[in-house]
Amino acid sequence: MNFLSKRAQAIAPYTAGEQPADKQYVKLNTNENPYPPSPRATEVLRAFDAGALRLYPRPDADGLRAAIARAEGVEEGNVFCGNGSDEVLALSFPAFFDEEGKPACFADLTYSFYEVFAAFFGVKTHIVPLKADFSFDLAAMQTADCAGYYLCNPNAPTGIALPIETVENFVASVGERIVIADEAYMDFYGQSAVPLTKKYKNLLVVKTFSKSYSLAGIRCGYAVGDEALIGGLFRMKDCFNSYPVDAVAQAVCTAAVEDKDYRDKTAALVKRERARLREALLSLGFTVPESGANFLFAGRVKKSGGELYRALKEEGVLVRHWEKPILRDFLRITIGTPEQNDVLLAKLKQILK
């Protein structure tokens, strides 16, 4: 007897980056921030009254949404919070796409969860290959017969970022279709499309506390957009989970988003290391597109990505590798602390000798 639904049997789930517990790795594989969260967030966590956990959290994360709205320069009604930006992105599929309707359009090389969400929610996809230099083929996307777009900016796993003017032109040119801009890594680039959400009712920007706020363990992300779009996300949330953001997360993320200075300070450290690491990888012969994210996409050396990944793991350094066409020759390397990056570089030099 097989009790699984046809969907559960057929679907290919997303595989998250490994989190091995066998030994201490220099962990550069899941784009976590190498620096701790804001001291203000840490203090709120330390002082949190466990007795308060007796009660359910605020279902709509009102206090946190108000703090995000202040930080983003929008109204609370323009903000939706979920259990990680993955959940926000997941809910966007049933909120904005019909199973029998036109497809969701995105690139072939982008955040691979979009494809899994689409399959899970029965939404058709229109996949547009990246250009040879790994940039988005925006002209081909514009003319796609679709209901809307997922535009990961900066893109994963390439790190390539689109300037705000390019995003605005794209959003304006497809005015009848929704554009969901996934800005998980935007604070490492600094040209968020959030201000454009006031002008364009078809733009939803999705962000996370996991990367620039160093809070991947707390699971909280959010969307900013026109109230009609935010209302759609709330409708889906309330069909699925009334309390996606727990009380601890609401308190800690409120403190974190109110400490933008700290976020910007650590992001600046990551950006400085990104430039240094890229130069070093280029001088080792790697092809490395310019990155706006907290990782580099590096490859095309005399060893395959898989060989490098395995040799590095053996040496205690974890990076991300995919055994897929195009990606096969590349590694995605999260920017670590200067010390971690030095270990990575030393091991790579040794492996490539």
Contact positions vs ligand PMP (CB under 6 A): 84-86, 111, 152, 156, 182, 184, 208, 210, 216, 221
CB of 338 to ligand PMP, least distance (A): 23
Q: Residues 227, 198: contact at Cβ < 8 Å?
A: no
In the complex with ligand PMP, the residue whose CB is nearer, 221 or 225, is 221
CA distance 337 to 51: 37
The one-letter amino acid at 207? K
In the complex with ligand PMP, the residue whose CB is nearer, 197 or 208, is 208
In the complex with ligand PMP, the residue whose CB is nearer, 78 or 153, is 153
CB of 304 to ligand PMP, least distance (A): 23
CB of 75 to ligand PMP, least distance (A): 23
In the complex with ligand PMP, the residue whose CB is nearer, 88 or 147, is 88
In the complex with ligand PMP, the residue whose CB is nearer, 219 or 347, is 219
In the complex with ligand PMP, the residue whose CB is nearer, 208 or 250, is 208
What 3 state SS string does 312-352 have? HHHCCEECECCCCCCHHHEEEEECCCHHHHHHHHHHHHHHH
In the complex with ligand PMP, the residue whose CB is nearer, 111 or 200, is 111
CB of 268 to ligand PMP, least distance (A): 21
CB of 86 to ligand PMP, least distance (A): 3
CB of 293 to ligand PMP, least distance (A): 8
CB of 14 to ligand PMP, least distance (A): 9
In the complex with ligand PMP, the residue whose CB is nearer, 84 or 292, is 84
In the complex with ligand PMP, the residue whose CB is nearer, 120 or 315, is 120
Q: Residues 163, 290: contact at Cβ < 8 Å?
A: no
Q: Which residue is nearest to ligand PMP (CB)?
A: 84
What 3 state SS string does the chain have? CCCCCHHHHHCCCCCCCCCCCCCCCEECCCCCCCCCCCHHHHHHHHHCCHHHHHCCCCCCCHHHHHHHHHHHCCCHHHEEEECHHHHHHHHHHHHHCCCCCCCEEEECCCCCHHHHHHHHCCCCEEEECCCCCCCCCHHHHHCCCCCEEEEECCCCCCCCCCCHHHHHHHHHHCCCCEEEEECCCHHHCCCCCHHHHHCCCCEEEEEECCCCCCCHHHCCEEEEECHHHHHHHHHHHCCCCCCCCCHHHHHHHHHHHCCHHHHHHHHHHHHHHHHHHHHHHHHCCCECCCCCCCEEEEECCCCCHHHHHHHHHHCCEECECCCCCCHHHEEEEECCCHHHHHHHHHHHHHHHC
Q: What is the torsion angle, in degrees rounded to the nearest 10, for the CA atoms of residue 36, residue 37, residue 41 and residue 44?
A: -40
CB of 292 to ligand PMP, least distance (A): 12
CB of 79 to ligand PMP, least distance (A): 15
